[in-house]
Amino acid sequence: MKKSENESRSILAGTELSTFCPHCHQALNVFDPATRKIWVRLAVSVHGAKGELLLSPQFDVFERQADIELSEGIVVDDLSCPRCGESLVEQQACEECGSPAARLVIYAQSKLVDFSICTKVGCHWHGMSRADQAKIKPKVSRQKKPEQDALLRIRNFNEVSYGLDRELALVEASRCLDCKKPACIAACPVEVDIPGFIRLIREGNFVEAARLVKQKNALPAVCGRVCPQDDQCEKACLLGKKEEPVAIGNLERFVADFERETDSVAIPRKAPPTGKRVAVVGSGPAGLTMAADMVTKGHSVTVFESLHKPGGVLVYGIPEFRLPKAIVESEIDYLRRLGVKIELNSIVGRLYTIEELFASGYDAVFVGTGAGLPVFMKLPGENLCNILSANEYLTRINLMKAYAFPEYDTPAPRGRQVAVLGGGNVAMDCARTAVRMGSREVSIIYRRTRDEMPARTEETEHAEQEGVKFRLLTNPIRFIGDDRRWVKQMECVQMQLGEPDASGRPRPIPRAGSNFLMDVDMVIVAVGAGPNPVLFSGSPDLERTDRGYVKAYTPSGRTSIPGVWAGGDIVTGSATVILAMGAARQAANDMHAYLMDGKKEWV
């Protein structure tokens, strides 16, 4: 049996379909009181003899009855509609035996779909176009990716999700409706051809699928893991209106992992060298995207990174259990193979200024330094010992591998009762890291409710499974220390939700007299991040907003200094990996046009 038949069989297994004539649109189904079954009734002619043929509409059975002799293996002369008499046999041939095929119309899942059957007696082939298969496939629910058990995973830093395997990915891919006007593409900041790559998965062409994603997204293995899909592509998925949307993120991760694990990563063909040099400041998601884009366009690219490892927030911020560092390393290795040079331990603004980069021969500079400055709440007692920023906690543990102390020299702060302030992904990362570091009680302190939490649904669910407590509608107002100035308590106030504020979320209002004390011995402040001013100390001309972010035109990313572009968190403030990548891509297109076009106009 051919694979396509296999597939449609399994889809149709056990279903009983309404059938109609494609010409007169009258029903072909008849009820036979003798057998108490519904049959499909067709007129048949064989060697001049005409008769009636009854087919079981349960397509997996394909039972038949006829009032004339139909010996196994013969091809009937004609199949026609018993009501209008029109022949159903068409040009299309059976894929199994090559005999002519007859066309019916079947009604499935509120749609009329063409359906072919073979005219050779005994041949069980029936076929549909691929699009039709998608239309009539029975309901398959969203596939869950296997995960480490919560009790097990809180004792290690290994990745929580194992990702979809081949079979699950095929089933999940079959859920895609392959819409004519896919809303998911428009909802993706880098406009990945989502139905396209899912189609390739369905065809079993995983490597091609990965390459299709990579045309738009340089870091699919990363984005498949950390993108807020539930707010982007999956939110727009049409299937999501009725049931759960297609697990686009999991599929993206699957193809990227498949490509990497099977060593099928190919280096794309680069454009001929242009002789132009591009300096990229910062090796986070924006910088890496810019570097990948510009190097494939034929420019020579150098990335300057201030830390001793490239990757930016991907290495210092996002924990191993959510994004294994080996994946980031392989993405960076890919860039190096593309020819990108990465200079570590190089702080632009201190070691070199932007002006000096131009003077040393760079033709364009991209600033993608991110939002790396931790924001504190400016509450009394915030400088007590064991109150620290999410950045410090995560950097110590992820970048400096403090979880392996004393094998690695950097110590990690520890606490039994840990409070994490904030409700974003970073807060979840800190809380889940603290659980793994052996803290007995870890609480998320958030001033609004679960619905307003900016974290991905998957992260809050995982945190909850791992025993993290959620203290919602709660806000700290001061910290109390012991005689050694270590934090021992935190005074909080209960909140209630008021009218929406500038961000569109309901404004939390303190409830008078609801103050209470909470015992804590470690507090992690994860309420956001600001722009790091180090870069600007050497480039005061770079225009900035009141909040200290770089002023850049959308969508080009051009700044106030000719030849300097900016993108990512340094322009928008803390956002997501994918938005930074989208901004970098647009800046790269503009930069390329600027470098290649002799005119150096800067508006």
- β-pair partners for 102: 89, 117
* Contact region with another protein (CB under 8 A), list: 217-225, 282-290, 385-393, 421-429: 385-393
Instruction: Map residues 531-550 to x or -, x wherever contact with another protein holds by CB under 8 A.
Output: -xxx--x-------------
Instruction: Write down the least CB distance from residue 370 to another protein, Å.
Output: 9
For another protein, which is the closer residue by CB, 192 or 434? 434
| Amino acid identity at 300 | S
Report whether 367 contacts 563 (CB < 8 A).
no
- Under the criterion CB under 8 A, does residue 329 sit at the interface with another protein? no
For another protein, which is the closer residue by CB, 224 or 476? 476
- Under the criterion CB under 8 A, does residue 306 sit at the interface with another protein? yes
Q: How many residues make contact with another protein (CB under 8 A)?
A: 43
Instruction: Write down the least CB distance from residue 542 to another protein, Å.
Output: 17
Q: Rule CB under 8 A: choose which of 373, 477, 518, 575 binds another protein.
A: 373
One-letter-per-residue 3-state SS of 379-401: CCCCCCECEEEHHHHHHHHHHCC
CA dist 96 and 413 (Å) reads 67
Residue 465, Cβ density class (10 Å: 0-12 exposed, 13-18 middle, ≥19 buried): middle
* Contact region with another protein (CB under 8 A), list: 238-246, 279-287, 503-511, 529-537: 529-537
Instruction: Write down the least CB distance from residue 485 to another protein, Å.
Output: 4
- Under the criterion CB under 8 A, does residue 489 sit at the interface with another protein? no
Burial 229-256, CB ≥16 within 10 A → b, else e: beebbbebbebbeeeebbbbbbbbbbbb
Q: Which two tokens stand for residue 490?
A: 């935190």
Instruction: Write down the least CB distance from residue 438 to another protein, Å.
Output: 14
- Under the criterion CB under 8 A, does residue 162 sit at the interface with another protein? no
Composition of the chain by helix, strand, coil, percent to 5: 30, 25, 45
CA dist 343 and 124 (Å) reads 64
Q: Rule CB under 8 A: choose which of 261, 333, 355, 409 binds another protein.
A: 409
CA dist 256 and 376 (Å) reads 37
**Among positive and negative, which fits the CA dihedral 31, 32, 36, 38?**
negative
Q: Rule CB under 8 A: choose which of 395, 439, 539, 572 binds another protein.
A: 395
**Among positive and negative, which fits the CA dihedral 574, 579, 584, 589?**
negative
Q: Rule CB under 8 A: choose which of 228, 249, 311, 374 binds another protein.
A: 374
Strand blocks (E) in 36-132? 37-46, 49-55, 64-66, 78-80, 89-93, 100-108, 111-118, 126-127
CA dist 160 and 298 (Å) reads 39
- Under the criterion CB under 8 A, does residue 385 sit at the interface with another protein? yes
- Under the criterion CB under 8 A, does residue 360 sit at the interface with another protein? no
| Amino acid identity at 529 | A
* Contact region with another protein (CB under 8 A), list: 182-190, 239-247, 322-330, 375-383: 375-383
Instruction: Map residues 447-486 to x or -, x wherever contact with another protein holds by CB under 8 A.
Output: -------------------------------------xxx
- β-pair partners for 27: 20
Secondary structure (3-state) at 376: coil
- Under the criterion CB under 8 A, does residue 355 sit at the interface with another protein? no
- Under the criterion CB under 8 A, does residue 345 sit at the interface with another protein? yes
Q: Rule CB under 8 A: choose which of 199, 277, 396, 448 binds another protein.
A: 396
- Under the criterion CB under 8 A, does residue 352 sit at the interface with another protein? yes
* Contact region with another protein (CB under 8 A), list: 93-101, 136-144, 212-220, 347-355: 347-355
For another protein, which is the closer residue by CB, 176 or 371? 371
- Under the criterion CB under 8 A, does residue 361 sit at the interface with another protein? no
Instruction: Write down the least CB distance from residue 287 to another protein, Å.
Output: 15
CA distances from 533 to 55, 371, 375, 540, 549 (A): 77, 10, 13, 10, 9
- Under the criterion CB under 8 A, does residue 283 sit at the interface with another protein? no
Q: DSSP label at 267?
A: P
- Under the criterion CB under 8 A, does residue 413 sit at the interface with another protein? yes
Secondary structure (3-state) at 190: coil
For another protein, which is the closer residue by CB, 201 or 371? 371
Report whether 453 contacts 470 (CB < 8 A).
no
- Under the criterion CB under 8 A, does residue 133 sit at the interface with another protein? no
Instruction: Write down the least CB distance from residue 320 to another protein, Å.
Output: 16
Instruction: Write down the least CB distance from residue 260 to another protein, Å.
Output: 24
* Contact region with another protein (CB under 8 A), list: 87-95, 359-367, 398-406, 550-558: 398-406
CA dist 77 and 392 (Å) reads 80
- Under the criterion CB under 8 A, does residue 391 sit at the interface with another protein? yes
CA dist 193 and 23 (Å) reads 37
Q: Rule CB under 8 A: choose which of 383, 514, 515, 545 binds another protein.
A: 383
- Under the criterion CB under 8 A, does residue 591 sit at the interface with another protein? no
For another protein, which is the closer residue by CB, 225 or 309? 309
Q: Please choose, from the candidates 416, 492, 427, 488, the residue with its C-alpha nearest in 3D space to the C-alpha of residue 460.
A: 427
The footprint of another protein (CB under 8 A) covers: 306-308, 316, 344-347, 350-352, 372-374, 376, 378, 382-383, 385-386, 388-389, 391-392, 395-396, 400-401, 405-411, 413, 484-486, 532-534, 537
